[in-house]
Amino acid sequence: MRLAVIGGLASGPAAAAEAVRANPEAEVILYEQGPYISVGSCEIPYFVADQIQDASTLEVLTPEQFEETRGAKVRVQHRVESIEPDKSRLFVESLVHGSRHEEYFDRFILATGARARKLGIEGEDIKGVFSVRGLEDAVAIKSWLEPEAVRHVVVIGGGFIGVEMADAIRRRNLRVTILDPQGRLMRGVLSENMSTPLIDAVQASGVAVRAERATSVEADEMGRVASVRTDKGEIIGCQSVIVGIGIEPRTELAKAAHIKIGMTGGISVDDQMRTSQRHVWACGDGIEVPRMVDGKKILWPLSPIARRTARVAARNAAGVKPADRFTSVTPSVAVKAFGIEVGSVGISGEEAKDAGFDVEVVQIKHWSRVSSMPGAKRLHVSYVVERGTGRLLGGSLVGEEGAALRADVLVPWIRGGTTVKEIAEEMDLVYNPPIAPAMDPLRVAAAKAIRAISESKAKR
Protein backbone atom coordinates (compact mmCIF):
# COMPACT_ATOMS: atom_id res chain seq x y z
CA MET A 1 0.00 0.00 0.00
CA ARG A 2 1.16 3.54 -0.80
CA LEU A 3 -0.30 6.25 1.41
CA ALA A 4 0.10 10.01 0.87
CA VAL A 5 -0.24 12.41 3.79
CA ILE A 6 -0.65 16.00 2.65
CA GLY A 7 0.29 18.70 5.19
CA GLY A 8 2.58 19.17 8.17
CA LEU A 9 2.41 20.88 11.60
CA ALA A 10 0.45 18.80 14.15
CA SER A 11 -1.89 16.47 12.27
CA GLY A 12 0.20 15.52 9.22
CA PRO A 13 3.24 14.17 11.09
CA ALA A 14 0.97 12.49 13.66
CA ALA A 15 -0.97 10.78 10.86
CA ALA A 16 2.16 9.69 8.98
CA ALA A 17 3.80 8.26 12.10
CA GLU A 18 0.62 6.45 13.18
CA ALA A 19 0.09 4.99 9.70
CA VAL A 20 3.59 3.45 9.80
CA ARG A 21 2.93 2.04 13.27
CA ALA A 22 -0.43 0.63 12.19
CA ASN A 23 0.87 -0.87 8.94
CA PRO A 24 4.68 -1.24 8.84
CA GLU A 25 4.43 -2.67 5.32
CA ALA A 26 2.87 0.50 3.93
CA GLU A 27 4.93 3.13 2.13
CA VAL A 28 3.95 6.44 3.71
CA ILE A 29 5.03 9.77 2.20
CA LEU A 30 4.38 13.14 3.85
CA TYR A 31 4.19 16.24 1.64
CA GLU A 32 4.60 19.75 3.04
CA GLN A 33 4.89 22.91 0.96
CA GLY A 34 6.91 24.77 3.62
CA PRO A 35 10.38 23.97 4.97
CA TYR A 36 9.13 22.65 8.33
CA ILE A 37 6.89 19.71 9.15
CA SER A 38 6.56 19.81 12.93
CA VAL A 39 6.41 23.17 14.71
CA GLY A 40 5.21 24.23 18.16
CA SER A 41 2.94 27.05 16.97
CA CYS A 42 1.50 27.70 20.44
CA GLU A 43 4.97 28.71 21.62
CA ILE A 44 5.12 31.64 19.17
CA PRO A 45 4.06 34.36 21.68
CA TYR A 46 6.74 33.23 24.11
CA PHE A 47 9.37 33.30 21.37
CA VAL A 48 8.30 36.82 20.39
CA ALA A 49 8.49 37.85 24.07
CA ASP A 50 12.06 36.46 24.29
CA GLN A 51 10.99 33.90 26.89
CA ILE A 52 12.15 31.39 24.28
CA GLN A 53 15.37 32.61 22.68
CA ASP A 54 16.15 30.19 19.88
CA ALA A 55 13.73 29.77 16.96
CA SER A 56 15.06 26.26 16.30
CA THR A 57 13.56 25.06 19.57
CA LEU A 58 10.11 25.62 18.07
CA GLU A 59 10.86 22.97 15.46
CA VAL A 60 9.82 19.77 17.21
CA LEU A 61 11.28 17.40 14.60
CA THR A 62 13.28 18.15 11.47
CA PRO A 63 12.32 16.25 8.30
CA GLU A 64 15.50 14.17 8.69
CA GLN A 65 14.72 13.31 12.32
CA PHE A 66 11.15 12.41 11.38
CA GLU A 67 12.25 10.02 8.64
CA GLU A 68 14.79 8.38 10.94
CA THR A 69 12.57 7.99 14.00
CA ARG A 70 9.06 7.64 12.55
CA GLY A 71 9.69 5.64 9.41
CA ALA A 72 7.76 7.77 6.92
CA LYS A 73 9.31 9.56 3.96
CA VAL A 74 9.17 13.35 3.92
CA ARG A 75 8.99 15.75 0.99
CA VAL A 76 9.28 19.34 2.21
CA GLN A 77 8.86 22.31 -0.11
CA HIS A 78 6.61 20.15 -2.26
CA ARG A 79 3.17 21.58 -2.98
CA VAL A 80 0.45 19.10 -3.85
CA GLU A 81 -1.55 20.87 -6.56
CA SER A 82 -4.36 18.34 -6.90
CA ILE A 83 -5.45 14.84 -6.05
CA GLU A 84 -7.51 12.48 -8.19
CA PRO A 85 -8.68 9.71 -5.85
CA ASP A 86 -10.59 7.86 -8.58
CA LYS A 87 -7.35 7.60 -10.58
CA SER A 88 -5.17 6.99 -7.49
CA ARG A 89 -2.85 9.87 -8.25
CA LEU A 90 -1.74 13.31 -7.19
CA PHE A 91 0.12 16.10 -8.92
CA VAL A 92 2.93 17.75 -6.99
CA GLU A 93 5.29 20.64 -7.65
CA SER A 94 8.81 20.88 -6.26
CA LEU A 95 9.08 24.49 -5.10
CA VAL A 96 12.88 24.28 -5.08
CA HIS A 97 13.32 23.02 -8.63
CA GLY A 98 10.09 24.28 -10.17
CA SER A 99 9.36 20.81 -11.58
CA ARG A 100 5.94 19.18 -11.63
CA HIS A 101 5.16 15.48 -11.69
CA GLU A 102 2.47 12.95 -10.80
CA GLU A 103 2.62 10.09 -8.32
CA TYR A 104 0.33 7.16 -7.65
CA PHE A 105 -1.09 6.23 -4.25
CA ASP A 106 -3.72 3.84 -2.98
CA ARG A 107 -4.99 6.15 -0.26
CA PHE A 108 -4.75 9.78 0.81
CA ILE A 109 -4.93 11.70 4.10
CA LEU A 110 -5.62 15.42 3.89
CA ALA A 111 -3.94 17.29 6.75
CA THR A 112 -3.98 20.64 4.99
CA GLY A 113 -4.85 22.55 8.17
CA ALA A 114 -5.93 26.17 8.28
CA ARG A 115 -4.64 29.63 7.46
CA ALA A 116 -4.83 32.86 9.44
CA ARG A 117 -7.98 34.78 8.57
CA LYS A 118 -7.47 38.00 6.61
CA LEU A 119 -8.97 41.35 7.56
CA GLY A 120 -10.10 42.15 4.05
CA ILE A 121 -9.13 45.81 4.35
CA GLU A 122 -6.89 48.15 2.41
CA GLY A 123 -3.24 48.07 3.39
CA GLU A 124 -3.12 44.78 5.25
CA ASP A 125 -0.32 43.51 3.00
CA ILE A 126 2.14 46.36 3.63
CA LYS A 127 5.41 45.88 5.50
CA GLY A 128 4.98 45.49 9.24
CA VAL A 129 1.58 43.74 9.17
CA PHE A 130 1.76 40.14 10.42
CA SER A 131 -0.48 37.17 11.07
CA VAL A 132 0.36 34.51 13.65
CA ARG A 133 0.32 30.98 12.31
CA GLY A 134 3.71 29.37 11.62
CA LEU A 135 7.38 29.52 12.47
CA GLU A 136 8.01 31.85 9.53
CA ASP A 137 5.51 34.32 11.04
CA ALA A 138 7.22 34.14 14.43
CA VAL A 139 10.66 34.81 12.97
CA ALA A 140 9.30 37.63 10.80
CA ILE A 141 7.58 39.37 13.73
CA LYS A 142 10.63 39.15 15.96
CA SER A 143 12.95 40.25 13.15
CA TRP A 144 10.75 43.29 12.53
CA LEU A 145 10.58 44.31 16.18
CA GLU A 146 14.27 44.03 16.96
CA PRO A 147 15.99 46.30 14.40
CA GLU A 148 13.05 48.53 13.55
CA ALA A 149 12.24 51.65 15.55
CA VAL A 150 8.98 50.13 16.79
CA ARG A 151 7.33 51.97 19.66
CA HIS A 152 3.65 51.06 19.29
CA VAL A 153 2.01 47.83 18.07
CA VAL A 154 -1.69 47.49 17.27
CA VAL A 155 -3.09 44.00 17.86
CA ILE A 156 -6.32 43.36 15.96
CA GLY A 157 -8.50 40.78 17.68
CA GLY A 158 -9.32 40.18 21.34
CA GLY A 159 -9.33 36.38 21.27
CA PHE A 160 -6.71 34.21 22.93
CA ILE A 161 -4.19 34.76 20.09
CA GLY A 162 -4.61 38.52 20.35
CA VAL A 163 -4.33 38.48 24.14
CA GLU A 164 -1.22 36.29 24.14
CA MET A 165 0.47 38.38 21.46
CA ALA A 166 -0.39 41.62 23.27
CA ASP A 167 1.22 40.18 26.40
CA ALA A 168 4.31 39.15 24.39
CA ILE A 169 4.71 42.62 22.88
CA ARG A 170 4.19 44.31 26.26
CA ARG A 171 6.96 42.14 27.71
CA ARG A 172 9.24 43.80 25.19
CA ASN A 173 8.34 47.16 26.81
CA LEU A 174 6.49 48.37 23.75
CA ARG A 175 3.20 50.22 23.73
CA VAL A 176 0.23 48.03 22.74
CA THR A 177 -3.36 48.70 21.69
CA ILE A 178 -5.90 45.92 21.21
CA LEU A 179 -8.74 46.57 18.77
CA ASP A 180 -11.90 44.49 19.20
CA PRO A 181 -15.26 45.56 17.72
CA GLN A 182 -17.01 45.06 21.07
CA GLY A 183 -14.12 46.03 23.32
CA ARG A 184 -14.18 42.50 24.75
CA LEU A 185 -11.43 40.00 25.45
CA MET A 186 -11.89 36.26 24.96
CA ARG A 187 -15.37 36.88 23.60
CA GLY A 188 -17.06 33.55 22.86
CA VAL A 189 -15.07 31.92 25.67
CA LEU A 190 -15.89 34.21 28.61
CA SER A 191 -19.06 36.07 29.50
CA GLU A 192 -18.74 39.82 29.94
CA ASN A 193 -18.63 39.54 33.76
CA MET A 194 -16.06 36.74 33.70
CA SER A 195 -13.76 38.70 31.39
CA THR A 196 -13.54 41.65 33.80
CA PRO A 197 -10.48 40.40 35.79
CA LEU A 198 -8.60 39.84 32.54
CA ILE A 199 -9.49 43.26 31.11
CA ASP A 200 -8.51 44.90 34.41
CA ALA A 201 -5.10 43.18 34.33
CA VAL A 202 -4.54 44.07 30.67
CA GLN A 203 -5.36 47.73 31.23
CA ALA A 204 -3.31 47.84 34.44
CA SER A 205 -0.28 46.79 32.37
CA GLY A 206 -0.74 49.85 30.18
CA VAL A 207 -2.40 48.12 27.22
CA ALA A 208 -5.39 49.94 25.76
CA VAL A 209 -8.48 47.94 24.76
CA ARG A 210 -10.58 49.85 22.24
CA ALA A 211 -14.05 48.95 20.96
CA GLU A 212 -13.20 49.76 17.36
CA ARG A 213 -12.84 47.94 14.06
CA ALA A 214 -9.82 48.50 11.79
CA THR A 215 -10.88 49.80 8.38
CA SER A 216 -7.48 50.33 6.77
CA VAL A 217 -3.75 50.23 7.42
CA GLU A 218 -1.72 53.16 6.11
CA ALA A 219 1.93 53.24 5.11
CA ASP A 220 4.70 55.81 5.39
CA GLU A 221 6.88 56.99 2.49
CA MET A 222 9.04 53.85 2.90
CA GLY A 223 6.06 51.52 2.50
CA ARG A 224 6.01 50.53 6.18
CA VAL A 225 3.15 50.62 8.66
CA ALA A 226 2.43 54.15 9.85
CA SER A 227 -1.09 53.97 11.27
CA VAL A 228 -4.40 52.11 11.53
CA ARG A 229 -7.67 53.84 10.69
CA THR A 230 -10.78 52.66 12.57
CA ASP A 231 -14.55 52.74 12.08
CA LYS A 232 -14.76 55.51 14.67
CA GLY A 233 -12.72 57.79 12.40
CA GLU A 234 -9.67 57.47 14.63
CA ILE A 235 -6.12 57.25 13.28
CA ILE A 236 -3.83 55.23 15.56
CA GLY A 237 -0.16 55.78 14.86
CA CYS A 238 1.91 52.60 15.08
CA GLN A 239 4.90 50.84 13.54
CA SER A 240 3.51 47.30 13.42
CA VAL A 241 0.16 45.51 13.25
CA ILE A 242 -0.49 41.95 14.39
CA VAL A 243 -3.69 40.32 13.15
CA GLY A 244 -5.25 37.64 15.34
CA ILE A 245 -8.87 37.25 14.25
CA GLY A 246 -8.99 33.48 13.90
CA ILE A 247 -8.41 30.94 11.17
CA GLU A 248 -10.13 29.43 8.15
CA PRO A 249 -9.69 25.85 6.88
CA ARG A 250 -7.56 25.18 3.82
CA THR A 251 -10.02 23.28 1.65
CA GLU A 252 -8.87 24.04 -1.90
CA LEU A 253 -7.52 20.53 -2.52
CA ALA A 254 -10.64 18.95 -1.06
CA LYS A 255 -12.99 21.09 -3.13
CA ALA A 256 -11.08 20.40 -6.33
CA ALA A 257 -11.38 16.66 -5.59
CA HIS A 258 -15.17 17.07 -5.14
CA ILE A 259 -14.97 16.28 -1.43
CA LYS A 260 -17.90 17.46 0.65
CA ILE A 261 -17.41 20.62 2.72
CA GLY A 262 -19.53 21.07 5.86
CA MET A 263 -21.60 24.03 7.01
CA THR A 264 -18.68 25.28 9.14
CA GLY A 265 -16.45 25.60 6.08
CA GLY A 266 -14.36 22.62 7.20
CA ILE A 267 -14.02 19.27 5.43
CA SER A 268 -16.88 16.93 6.29
CA VAL A 269 -15.79 13.54 7.69
CA ASP A 270 -17.48 10.59 9.36
CA ASP A 271 -16.44 9.11 12.70
CA GLN A 272 -13.63 7.22 10.95
CA MET A 273 -12.29 10.50 9.48
CA ARG A 274 -13.26 9.31 6.00
CA THR A 275 -14.36 12.01 3.57
CA SER A 276 -17.05 11.74 0.91
CA GLN A 277 -14.37 10.22 -1.35
CA ARG A 278 -13.87 6.56 -0.46
CA HIS A 279 -10.07 6.54 -0.53
CA VAL A 280 -9.53 9.90 1.16
CA TRP A 281 -9.42 10.61 4.89
CA ALA A 282 -8.88 14.00 6.55
CA CYS A 283 -7.77 15.28 9.94
CA GLY A 284 -6.55 18.33 11.85
CA ASP A 285 -7.53 21.97 11.70
CA GLY A 286 -9.19 21.67 8.30
CA ILE A 287 -12.04 19.37 9.35
CA GLU A 288 -15.23 19.83 11.34
CA VAL A 289 -15.82 17.63 14.40
CA PRO A 290 -18.88 16.91 16.57
CA ARG A 291 -19.13 18.83 19.82
CA MET A 292 -19.72 16.90 23.02
CA VAL A 293 -23.08 17.55 24.70
CA ASP A 294 -25.13 18.34 21.58
CA GLY A 295 -23.24 16.82 18.62
CA LYS A 296 -23.09 20.10 16.69
CA LYS A 297 -20.33 20.18 14.07
CA ILE A 298 -17.69 22.80 14.89
CA LEU A 299 -14.16 23.81 13.99
CA TRP A 300 -11.74 23.34 16.89
CA PRO A 301 -8.25 24.08 15.55
CA LEU A 302 -5.98 23.11 18.42
CA SER A 303 -3.17 20.56 18.33
CA PRO A 304 -4.61 18.01 20.84
CA ILE A 305 -7.66 17.53 18.62
CA ALA A 306 -5.49 17.59 15.49
CA ARG A 307 -3.47 14.69 16.86
CA ARG A 308 -6.56 12.77 18.01
CA THR A 309 -8.19 13.01 14.59
CA ALA A 310 -4.87 12.22 12.88
CA ARG A 311 -4.48 8.95 14.74
CA VAL A 312 -8.02 7.86 13.82
CA ALA A 313 -7.55 8.83 10.16
CA ALA A 314 -4.19 7.07 9.95
CA ARG A 315 -5.32 3.78 11.49
CA ASN A 316 -8.30 3.56 9.19
CA ALA A 317 -6.39 4.63 6.09
CA ALA A 318 -3.75 2.03 6.97
CA GLY A 319 -6.40 -0.68 7.09
CA VAL A 320 -6.63 -1.41 10.82
CA LYS A 321 -9.56 -3.68 11.77
CA PRO A 322 -11.90 -3.13 13.49
CA ALA A 323 -12.18 0.47 12.36
CA ASP A 324 -11.06 3.16 14.79
CA ARG A 325 -13.64 5.85 15.57
CA PHE A 326 -13.62 9.45 16.79
CA THR A 327 -16.36 10.30 19.27
CA SER A 328 -16.47 14.03 19.93
CA VAL A 329 -14.55 17.04 21.14
CA THR A 330 -15.08 18.73 24.49
CA PRO A 331 -14.00 22.27 23.61
CA SER A 332 -11.32 23.36 26.08
CA VAL A 333 -8.90 26.24 26.01
CA ALA A 334 -6.54 27.91 28.46
CA VAL A 335 -4.61 31.17 28.36
CA LYS A 336 -2.08 32.70 30.72
CA ALA A 337 -1.34 36.36 30.04
CA PHE A 338 -0.85 39.58 32.01
CA GLY A 339 -0.64 37.51 35.20
CA ILE A 340 -4.10 36.03 34.70
CA GLU A 341 -5.07 32.41 33.96
CA VAL A 342 -8.20 31.66 31.94
CA GLY A 343 -9.64 28.17 31.51
CA SER A 344 -12.82 27.32 29.64
CA VAL A 345 -14.42 23.95 28.89
CA GLY A 346 -17.64 22.83 27.20
CA ILE A 347 -20.25 25.25 25.91
CA SER A 348 -21.14 28.77 26.98
CA GLY A 349 -24.54 29.89 28.19
CA GLU A 350 -25.25 31.50 24.83
CA GLU A 351 -24.22 28.35 22.93
CA ALA A 352 -26.35 26.20 25.23
CA LYS A 353 -29.43 28.33 24.63
CA ASP A 354 -28.80 28.31 20.87
CA ALA A 355 -28.65 24.49 21.06
CA GLY A 356 -32.06 24.39 22.76
CA PHE A 357 -30.98 23.71 26.35
CA ASP A 358 -32.82 25.25 29.30
CA VAL A 359 -29.88 26.36 31.41
CA GLU A 360 -28.88 28.11 34.59
CA VAL A 361 -25.67 30.15 34.46
CA VAL A 362 -24.07 30.86 37.82
CA GLN A 363 -20.91 32.67 38.84
CA ILE A 364 -19.01 32.67 42.14
CA LYS A 365 -15.86 34.27 43.52
CA HIS A 366 -13.80 32.17 45.94
CA TRP A 367 -10.15 31.55 46.87
CA SER A 368 -7.48 29.61 45.00
CA ARG A 369 -6.11 28.28 48.31
CA VAL A 370 -6.99 28.72 51.97
CA SER A 371 -7.58 32.47 52.28
CA SER A 372 -5.24 32.91 55.25
CA MET A 373 -2.32 31.37 53.34
CA PRO A 374 0.26 33.68 51.73
CA GLY A 375 -0.36 34.05 48.04
CA ALA A 376 -4.07 33.19 48.11
CA LYS A 377 -5.80 34.76 45.11
CA ARG A 378 -9.39 35.38 44.16
CA LEU A 379 -10.74 32.86 41.65
CA HIS A 380 -13.86 33.40 39.54
CA VAL A 381 -15.85 30.33 38.44
CA SER A 382 -18.86 30.19 36.13
CA TYR A 383 -20.99 27.10 35.38
CA VAL A 384 -23.53 26.41 32.64
CA VAL A 385 -25.98 23.84 34.02
CA GLU A 386 -29.01 22.13 32.47
CA ARG A 387 -31.95 22.97 34.72
CA GLY A 388 -33.94 19.78 34.37
CA THR A 389 -31.11 17.34 35.04
CA GLY A 390 -28.54 19.46 36.88
CA ARG A 391 -25.98 18.27 34.33
CA LEU A 392 -22.84 20.37 33.86
CA LEU A 393 -22.58 21.55 30.25
CA GLY A 394 -19.75 24.07 30.50
CA GLY A 395 -17.58 26.08 32.82
CA SER A 396 -14.97 28.81 32.88
CA LEU A 397 -12.43 29.96 35.46
CA VAL A 398 -10.45 33.19 35.70
CA GLY A 399 -7.85 34.20 38.28
CA GLU A 400 -4.21 34.82 39.04
CA GLU A 401 -3.67 31.16 39.92
CA GLY A 402 -5.52 27.85 39.99
CA ALA A 403 -7.78 28.46 36.99
CA ALA A 404 -6.33 26.60 34.03
CA LEU A 405 -5.62 23.20 35.56
CA ARG A 406 -8.88 23.22 37.52
CA ALA A 407 -10.59 23.63 34.15
CA ASP A 408 -9.10 20.27 33.14
CA VAL A 409 -11.18 18.63 35.88
CA LEU A 410 -14.34 19.77 34.10
CA VAL A 411 -13.58 17.77 30.95
CA PRO A 412 -14.37 14.27 32.35
CA TRP A 413 -17.31 15.70 34.32
CA ILE A 414 -18.89 17.13 31.16
CA ARG A 415 -18.14 14.03 29.10
CA GLY A 416 -19.54 11.80 31.83
CA GLY A 417 -22.77 13.75 32.34
CA THR A 418 -21.87 14.67 35.92
CA THR A 419 -24.47 16.70 37.81
CA VAL A 420 -23.78 19.66 40.08
CA LYS A 421 -25.28 17.65 42.96
CA GLU A 422 -22.59 15.00 42.42
CA ILE A 423 -19.90 17.68 42.24
CA ALA A 424 -21.06 19.41 45.43
CA GLU A 425 -21.68 16.27 47.50
CA GLU A 426 -19.57 13.42 46.13
CA MET A 427 -16.39 14.72 44.49
CA ASP A 428 -13.44 14.36 46.88
CA LEU A 429 -11.27 17.16 45.59
CA VAL A 430 -7.83 17.90 46.98
CA TYR A 431 -7.62 19.97 50.17
CA ASN A 432 -4.29 21.36 51.31
CA PRO A 433 -3.96 24.94 52.66
CA PRO A 434 -1.20 26.15 50.27
CA ILE A 435 -2.83 24.39 47.29
CA ALA A 436 -6.62 24.38 47.64
CA PRO A 437 -9.26 25.31 50.25
CA ALA A 438 -11.42 22.75 52.02
CA MET A 439 -14.37 23.83 49.91
CA ASP A 440 -12.83 23.97 46.46
CA PRO A 441 -14.15 26.71 44.15
CA LEU A 442 -15.49 23.98 41.85
CA ARG A 443 -17.70 22.66 44.67
CA VAL A 444 -18.74 26.14 45.76
CA ALA A 445 -19.94 26.89 42.22
CA ALA A 446 -21.84 23.58 42.14
CA ALA A 447 -23.59 24.41 45.42
CA LYS A 448 -24.65 27.78 44.06
CA ALA A 449 -25.97 26.12 40.90
CA ILE A 450 -28.10 23.75 43.00
CA ARG A 451 -29.62 26.69 44.88
CA ALA A 452 -30.21 28.64 41.66
CA ILE A 453 -32.02 25.71 40.05
CA SER A 454 -34.16 25.20 43.16
CA GLU A 455 -35.11 28.88 43.27
CA SER A 456 -35.92 28.83 39.56
CA LYS A 457 -38.25 25.85 40.00
CA ALA A 458 -39.97 27.55 42.96
CA LYS A 459 -40.69 30.65 40.86
CA ARG A 460 -42.29 28.50 38.19
CA dihedral (370, 376, 382, 383) positive or negative: negative
Helix axes 160-171, 196-204, angle to 10 degrees: 20
DSSP 162-185: HHHHHHHHHHTT-EEEEE-TTS-S
- Alpha-carbon distances of 429 from 23, 122, 449, rounded to whole Å: 43, 53, 18
d(CA 402, CA 367): 9
- Assign 244 to helix, strand or coil: coil
Judge whether 42 counts as a catalytic residue.
Answer: yes
User: Most distant CA pair in the chain: distance in Å?
Assistant: 74
Query: What count of Cα atoms within 13 Å lies in the side-chain half-sphere of residue 134?
Result: 16
Give every CB contact of residue 401 below 8 A, 6+ residues apart in sequence: 341, 368, 375, 377, 379
d(CA 146, CA 142): 6
Q: What is the CA radius of gyration of the chain?
A: 24
> What percent of the chain is helix, strand and coil (3-state, nearest 5)?
30, 30, 40
Q: Which of 292, 325, 309 is nearest to 410 (CA)?
A: 292
H/E stretch holding 443 reads: helix 441-459
d(CA 308, CA 310): 5
Whether residue 322 is preceded by a cis peptide bond, meaning omega within 30 degrees of 0, is yes
H/E stretch holding 59 reads: strand 59-61
Q: Which of 241, 231, 177 is nearest to 207 (CA)?
A: 177
Catalytic member of 1, 2, 42, 339: 42
Backbone angles phi, psi at 405, to 5 degrees: -75, -25
Catalytic machinery residues: 42
